[in-house]
Chain A
C-alpha cells in the first residue's frame, strides 16, 4: 500500500506538469481548430532557453519563466500572424498542421545546429532534494513544478472565465461566426490565444528541463503524449486536459510499481481507448452537431 500511495503522489505531481503543457495545445485547438504539433518542440525550445539562462546567468529556472514566457508569447503571436492567419482555403486546418509540423522540424534543426544532440538538463542545487512527509518522499522539484503548473493553470482559468478577452475567446470557441457578428475581433483573439498557448510552453519547458534530460529530438515523444492527453480530455477543453494529464500520471506510475514498467504507457493507452469508446468526444469534449 505504501508503494501505491508513493506512486500516486508521483503520478499527480507528474500529471500536473503534463497538464500545463497540454493546456496550451488544447486552448489553441479550441480557439482556431489548429492542432499545434509544434507544441512539443516549443516546450523543448523553452527548456533550452531556460537552461541557457541558468547555465550562463545563474537564473533559477522557475524565475526564468518570467523572461522566457514573453519571448514565447511574441514568437507564438508572430507565427500565427505570419503563417497561420493567411491560410484562408477550406483546407486551412490541414495546412496549419503542416505549418506547425514544419515549425517543429525547424526548431529541432536550429537547436541541433546550436546545441548539437547532447542531452542537457537544468541541474539546480535543489534538483535532488526531497521532503519526507509521513514516510512518503516528495521531490522538491516536482512539488515546485506542480505548484507552478497549478498557478499558471489557475491564471489561465481566470483569464478565460473572468476577463473580457476570455469571453471573446470562449465565444470564438463556441461559435466563431456569431462571435464575429457580435463584434469580436476574431483575428486578434486567435493571434493572442496562439501566443498564450505557446507561452504556456515556456513555463512547461522550464519545468521539463529540471525534471528530465532533453535534446532537440525530445519533442517527438512529448507531442505524442500531449496529443493523447488532449484527445482524452476532449479537444479544446482545458479542464479536460488537466483531468486527462492527471489520469495519465496516476495510471502510469501505479502500473509501473504494481505490475511492470513495460505495461505503464500501454495501460494509459488502454484507458484512453476505453474512455473514447464510451465518450468519443473525450472526457469534457462536446459532440459536433451535424445536420
Chain B
C-alpha cells in the first residue's frame, strides 16, 4: 500500500472511532431525534431580543430533554439567522420545512417577522406557536395555525390600566388626562384604547398627540401637556421615548398624579438607570412576564435560567420567558394529544387552557390570547405586579410621589 493511501485510511479509521466515541459519550444509542426549526434575529436590529429568545428556547430544550424529550424523542433545535429581515425569515422557514423537514416550527422575534413567517407555516399546515408576534399584522391574516404565547394581544395590553383606574372610587380617580403617543403600531393604538375607555367613564382628555418615530426631543411635547396640568398622563411609548418623556417631565418639574407608559418602565434592568433611580416610584406600565410572577412553573424557570446563563432573576429578558412558554405549549399539546402531528396539535390548542410561565393561556380562532397583561408599578425602587388583584404582589400606590422623592 502506498504511503498516501495508508494516511487516508488511517484518517478515516480515526474519524470512525471518534464518531463512535461521541455517540457513546452522549449516552444515546438508538434514540430518535426530533428537530424543531426556528428562525431568529441573531444579527441586525432585533439581535438582542433574538438572542434572548434563543436563550429561552434552548433552556426549554434542555428542560424537556431532561424529562425524556417529546414522546420519548430527544429534541434538537435547528436555528437559522434571519438578520432581522422579513424577507430572510420567509426563506428560512421555507428551508426549515421543505429542506430540513423539521417536525415543528417555533416563531421568530417581532410582529414584523412573525406575520410573513406564519403565512409560510400555514401553507405547509404547521402549527405556529410564537412568542413575539402580538401585533395586528399577525392576527389580521386570520390564520388558524397561530398561537401567540403571551397573555394578551399587544394592542390590548394597557386595558388593565384603564380597568384599574375605573376600579378606584370616583373621588380618587383622575379628572383630566393627556395622551402623548409614539407613531408606532405598538404604541399609539394602546393609548387610544385606554383613552376611549377612560373618556367613556368621564375622564376629560385635555391633550392628545402622536409624535413621529424620529422625534428625539420630547421636551416641547411635554411642556405643552404640562401647561394643561393633567391629573393623568398615558403615554403610548416604546422604551426610548418613554425615557425621554420622563426626563423632560423631571426637567420641567411636572409630576402628574398618575403616570402610565406602555413600554419603558416595564424594563427593570434599564429603566432606573435611564431616568434616575429617584424618579421611578409611582410609574405604571404593563407587561406579560416578571421574575416574581406567580405563573405556573415560573419559579423553576427562573432558577433554571440563572443556573444555565448566570446573572440574576432581574436580568432575565421577558423575551426568554416568552420563548420558553412557546416550548411549554408544544410540550403540553404533545402530551395531551399523544401525537407529533401538526394538525392534531392545532386542533388541541384551540380548546382548553394551557398553563405556562406566561400565565394560563387560551386563544380565539385566530391565535389572539384571551387573557390580560399584568399592571406593574415601581414601588420603593422595585417593580411589582399590582393589578389584577389575583396576581398582585403589592397594592397599587397613588398619587405618584414628586420627582426625586422615590
Contact = CB atoms under 8 A, between A and B. Distances in A.
Interface string A217-253: 1000100000000000000000000000000000011
Given A128-B275, A252-B217, A257-B224, 15 more contacts: A3-B227, A10-B220, A116-B48, A117-B44, A117-B45, A128-B279, A211-B217, A213-B240, A213-B243, A221-B214, A221-B216, A256-B215, A256-B221, A262-B209, A262-B210
A264 B251 contact: no
A127 B212 contact: no
Nearest to A119: B240
Interface of A: 2-3, 6-7, 10, 14, 112, 116-119, 121, 123, 127-130, 132, 137, 139, 211-213, 217, 221, 252-254, 256-257, 260-262, 264-265
Contacts of B14: none
Nearest to A2: B227
B215 A264 contact: yes
Contacts of A121: 243, 274
A213 B212 contact: no
A213 B220 contact: no
B211 to A, nearest CB: 4
Interface in B217-266: 217, 219-221, 223-224, 227, 239-240, 243-244, 247, 250-253
A87 B160 CA distance: 62
Given A6-B223, A256-B221, A261-B211, A137 B252 contact: yes
A127 B47 contact: no
A261 B251 contact: no
B181 to A, nearest CB: 10
Given A117-B47, A128-B279, A265 B214 contact: yes
A42 B149 CA distance: 41
A117 B219 CA distance: 25
Contacts, number: 97
Interface string B20-56: 0000000000000000000000011111100000000
A117 B279 contact: no
Nearest to B239: A119
Interface in B285-327: none
B69 interface: no
B81 interface: no
| Residue from B211, B244, B247, B403 having most chain A Cβ neighbours under 10 A | B247
B273 interface: yes
A263 B274 CA distance: 28
A261 B215 contact: yes
Given A128-B247, A213-B274, A262-B183, A117 B46 contact: yes
A172 B354 CA distance: 73
B113 to A, nearest CB: 15
A108 to B, nearest CB: 11
Contacts of B46: 117
A204 to B, nearest CB: 14
A211 B244 CA distance: 9
Contacts of A211: 217
Contact of B224 (A3, A212, A213): A3
B276 interface: yes
Nearest to A261: B211
| Residue from A212, A253, A256, A260 having most chain B Cβ neighbours under 10 A | A256
Contacts of A260: 209
B217 A14 contact: yes
B240 A123 contact: no
B216 A212 contact: yes
Contacts of B212: 261-262, 265
